[in-house]
Amino acid sequence: MSAFRVPQGGRGINRSREITFSVDGESYRGFAGDTVASALLAAGRIACGDSLYLGRPRGVMTAGVEEPNALLRVQPRFTGDISESMLPATTVDITEGLEASTLSGLGVLDPQSDQVRYEHKHLHADVLVIGAGPAGVAAAREAAKGGARTILMDERSVPGGSLLGSSGEQIDGLDALDWVNASIERLAGSEEFTYLPRTTAMGSYDSNFVTAVEDRTQALIAAADGGAAPAGQPRQRIWHVRAKRLLLATGAHERPIVFANNDRPGIMLAGAVRHYLHRYGVAAGSHAVVATTNDSAYALVDELHAAGIQIAAVVDSRVEASAQAQVTLDRTGVRGIFGAAIGDTSGGADGALSAVTVVRLDASGLPVDTEHGATGCETIGADLLAVSGGFSPVVQLHTQRQGRVVWSDEIAGFRPVAPVAEQAVVGAGNGDYSLASALRGGAEAGHQAAHATGYAAPLIVPEASGKATQAARCARSGSCRVRAERLVNGVSTSSTCNATRPSLMSTALPVRG
């Protein structure tokens, strides 16, 4: 279909069903299951609306609700619908005949009156789990199996969370996403279990009162089938949930890295590149550079390499390769540049990324001053720069109830100190980034919640296996060879390069599951 759609992979799309849609008047084709962002990337278009004030070219940067750039105005999609503005292209599913236009940071209200119904619902639950990633699903399994009334809500259209953007992970001997789907399917059979996809928890109040908004637009579009939506069907639903126990499995957002011109089309979060690769079968570029401060980006290196995408270099701010980094670099033959960072980027006529400038870092983590003899620069051509500055746990629902957070050097981020009364924070939202610890934390919290609400059942912790687990084992044994290539030929690697760099928050993160 296009050069950027990889032949294999893309478990979220249905390659047998093509869908035609348009963005800015230009027609595109994608597959059922694509978002506007993934279909545009598959068509080789990464640019979206320019920046609001300076008109700088911008491109898709993430694969989720955290998208800062790719904002859309979507024309009515069925009779009685209105046009909606400021929708992230990463969250709008493509539908036949969809007409969208990109926005530069400002939406336009539709003067037509909205004919569609909106409603709210009240619900009491024993256990409310927010987030259907591995930790949330593990928690819901344990909470629901004794018969407690359990609600699992998730902002995405499909469950899996971070597992949607990974491959090769296994849980209880199954492929991780198969395990998630099988778990939810089994739970859905029980009377007291409710799974709410496309439902974003937006407020957490006293006595575990949670408000959430469920987006049913896709269901209406499907039911309308080009005509009018069925009467009485709401487009959005506000859920008011009162839960005896609240389990927050909200995950973590990847952080970008700060450098000059870090907003060009073609610069994306490493996790987003993985997400597009695995969920949509889309390669976000053809010549990639990966810039990282931690181990999580090396899974991307492995996977891009396996998908046949050229990787010019991995630029790592850490002085030496970690065990996992070294294993990946040895296996793939990709060049690793350590003790270095991206200093600047350059772009073509359209502003899209064409090359990155790599600079050596001095002992304090600052770029080496190139004007005073120490040549520390190198330019590498690339149309994709995947950046990973570590992860930040999503703690907003926790802090809204005065839950405290504290800086953790281990994860280089703020993590909850202790859960609020009658709540628990599990998985990446608690800073537990490895799949095994997310499953354990989720299952234990679910088990305790079931016990506390009077529906105790024996605890079974799902077991993780796969490449992330192997890498952790390798790192522990210390048997992996550690070697680092210095950036600049002819410049001796001074001992000061071994100093730590607090300013870049370079930390050894385990692979996020």
Partner 1 sequence: MLLIECPNCGPRDETEFHYGGQAHVPYPDDPYALSDREWAEYLFYRGNPKGLFAERWNHSVGCRKWFNAIRDTASYEFTAVYRMGEPAPDISELTVSPAQHPEGGSR
Binding-site ranges for partner 1 (CB under 8 A): 205-207, 209, 242, 402-404, 417-421
Nearest residue (CB) to partner 1, 75 versus 211: 211
Nearest residue (CB) to partner 1, 349 versus 421: 421
Nearest residue (CB) to partner 1, 202 versus 228: 202
| Cβ atoms 26, 40 nearer than 8 A | no
* Residue 419 C-beta: closest distance to partner 1, Å: 8
Phi, psi of 447 (to 5 degrees): -65, -45
3-class DSSP state of 163: helix
Phi, psi of 493 (to 5 degrees): -85, 100
- Rounded Cα distance, 50 and 41, in Å: 17
- Rounded Cα distance, 162 and 31, in Å: 22
* Residue 312 C-beta: closest distance to partner 1, Å: 48
Bridge partners, 360 (sequence order): 340
Phi, psi of 393 (to 5 degrees): -55, 145
* Residue 426 C-beta: closest distance to partner 1, Å: 16
- Rounded Cα distance, 420 and 445, in Å: 13
**Whole-number CA gyration radius for the chain:** 23
Nearest residue (CB) to partner 1, 241 versus 314: 241
* Residue 125 C-beta: closest distance to partner 1, Å: 13
First to last CA, the chain: 30
Nearest residue (CB) to partner 1, 29 versus 242: 242
Nearest residue (CB) to partner 1, 203 versus 230: 203
Handedness of CA 318, 323, 325, 331 (dihedral sign): positive
| Cβ atoms 181, 196 nearer than 8 A | no
Phi, psi of 68 (to 5 degrees): -90, -20
Bridge partners, 213 (sequence order): 200, 238
Nearest residue (CB) to partner 1, 376 versus 403: 403
Closest-CA residue to 183 (of 155, 208, 213, 163): 163
Closest-CA residue to 76 (of 86, 88, 63, 85): 85
Handedness of CA 303, 306, 312, 318 (dihedral sign): positive
Closest-CA residue to 249 (of 171, 148, 180): 180
- Rounded Cα distance, 179 and 212, in Å: 26
Nearest residue (CB) to partner 1, 285 versus 419: 419
* Residue 422 C-beta: closest distance to partner 1, Å: 8
Bridge partners, 486 (sequence order): none
Nearest residue (CB) to partner 1, 345 versus 430: 430
Nearest residue (CB) to partner 1, 281 versus 419: 419
Closest-CA residue to 396 (of 164, 240, 210, 139): 210
* Residue 198 C-beta: closest distance to partner 1, Å: 24
- Rounded Cα distance, 25 and 476, in Å: 54
Closest-CA residue to 198 (of 219, 183, 182): 219
* Residue 398 C-beta: closest distance to partner 1, Å: 11
Nearest residue (CB) to partner 1, 294 versus 448: 448
* Residue 488 C-beta: closest distance to partner 1, Å: 48
* Residue 272 C-beta: closest distance to partner 1, Å: 34
Which residue do the tokens 């609400």 mark? 453
What is the side-by-side strand order in the sheet with 464-466? 174-175, 169-171, 464-466
Nearest residue (CB) to partner 1, 258 versus 417: 417
- For 319, the token pair is 């002085």
* Residue 247 C-beta: closest distance to partner 1, Å: 15
Closest-CA residue to 256 (of 429, 509, 67): 67
* Residue 208 C-beta: closest distance to partner 1, Å: 8
Q: How far is CA 342 from the centre of its chain?
A: 22
Nearest residue (CB) to partner 1, 109 versus 406: 406
- Rounded Cα distance, 245 and 423, in Å: 6
3-class DSSP state of 292: strand
